[in-house]
């Protein structure tokens, strides 16, 4: 695949407005306006300014490349052997993160022990097609995803049939619950967009299972 084609592939094939008809409700649950406008504006600013963002190196085929976004990782330090998981230890919870965790847990129906923050600085930042690791979280894990800032399209496609695909626009202050077969049978991504858009911060609350316990 040529370079131009790779860029094309990354651009979302979905219209900028709305949700796909027939979005599978058994794997995605969308709550618009979960956090009100003022609070969302404040949290966006706080996270952008106060997070020690890192741009990580990941292995892509035989090369190491920088992820096209910034990340930070927080969670419980006790009771989890991060070395066994091949992960670095997370940073300690901050007050706004603990507050958000407390708000999303009753809706998700589980207690989370970690959160991954992604910072998409503009439309050129993205996350490629993936599913989140079952070995670390169990196969039918619930993930609570909170979004602030620019609206981006969250695309999903079936692993066994890439033509079966849907999209949800993740709005400022929204909550998306990923559940059921989503990680086992689907992949998801945030594609690049050619539109001139501002920054976005996404938080995915997760429950890490410790294999050594």
Of 55, 28, 69, 41, the closest CA to residue 148 belongs to: 41
Of 69, 19, 12, 22, the closest CA to residue 171 belongs to: 19
Residues whose CB is less than 8 angstroms from the CB of residue 159 and which lie 6 or more positions away in sequence, other chains included: 131, 185, 186, 187
User: What are the residues facing 16 on neighbouring strands?
Assistant: none
Binding partner selected for residue 183 from ligand AKG, Fe ion, none, CB under the kind-specific 5 to 8 Å limit: none
Q: Is 29 in the site for ligand AKG (CB under 6 A)?
A: no
Binding partner selected for residue 12 from ligand AKG, Fe ion, none, CB under the kind-specific 5 to 8 Å limit: none
Cα–Cα dist 106/128, whole Å = 30
119-138 binders of Fe ion (CB under 5 A): 132
Cα–Cα dist 51/72, whole Å = 7
The least CB distance from residue 120 to ligand AKG, in Å, is: 7
Contact residue for ligand AKG among 116, 168, 182, 191 (CB under 6 A):
116
Contact residue for ligand AKG among 40, 126, 183, 202 (CB under 6 A):
202
Of 182, 151, 147, the closest CA to residue 169 belongs to: 151
The least CB distance from residue 72 to Fe ion, in Å, is: 15
Binding partner selected for residue 202 from Fe ion, ligand AKG, none, CB under the kind-specific 5 to 8 Å limit: ligand AKG
Binding partner selected for residue 74 from Fe ion, ligand AKG, none, CB under the kind-specific 5 to 8 Å limit: none
Q: Side by side, which strands form the sheet with 114-120?
A: 28-31, 174-178, 143-149, 200-206, 114-120, 70-75
Q: Is 132 in the site for ligand AKG (CB under 6 A)?
A: yes
Question: Do 146 and 34 touch, CB atoms closer than 8 A?
Answer: yes
Q: Is 169 in the site for ligand AKG (CB under 6 A)?
A: no
- Nearer Cβ to Fe ion (37/138): 138
Residues lying near ligand AKG in the complex (CB under 6 A) are found at: 116, 118, 127, 132, 145, 147, 154, 170, 188, 190, 202, 204
């Amino acid at each position: 695949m040529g370079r131009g084609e790779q860029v094309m592939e990354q651009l979302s094939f979905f219209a900028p407005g709305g949700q796909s008809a027939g979005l599978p409700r058994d794997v995605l649950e969308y709550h618009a306006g979960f956090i009100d406008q003022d609070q969302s504006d404040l949290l966006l600013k706080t996270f952008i300014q106060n997070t020690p963002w890192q741009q990580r190196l990941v292995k892509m085929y035989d090369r190491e490349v920088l992820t096209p976004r910034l990340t930070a990782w927080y969670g419980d330090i006790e009771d989890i052997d991060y070395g066994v998981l091949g992960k670095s230890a997370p940073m300690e919870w901050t007050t706004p993160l603990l507050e958000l965790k407390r708000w999303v847990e009753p809706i998700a129906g589980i207690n989370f022990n970690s959160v991954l923050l992604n910072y998409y600085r503009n439309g050129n930042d993205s996350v490629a097609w993936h599913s989140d690791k079952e070995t670390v979280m169990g196969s039918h894990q619930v993930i609570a995803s909170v979004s602030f800032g620019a609206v981006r399209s969250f695309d999903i496609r079936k692993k066994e049939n890439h033509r079966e695909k849907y999209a949800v626009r993740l709005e400022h202050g929204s909550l998306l619950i990923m559940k059921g077969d989503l990680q086992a049978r689907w992949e998801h991504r945030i594609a690049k967009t050619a539109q001139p858009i501002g920054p976005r911060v996404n938080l995915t609350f997760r429950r890490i299972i410790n294999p050594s316990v």
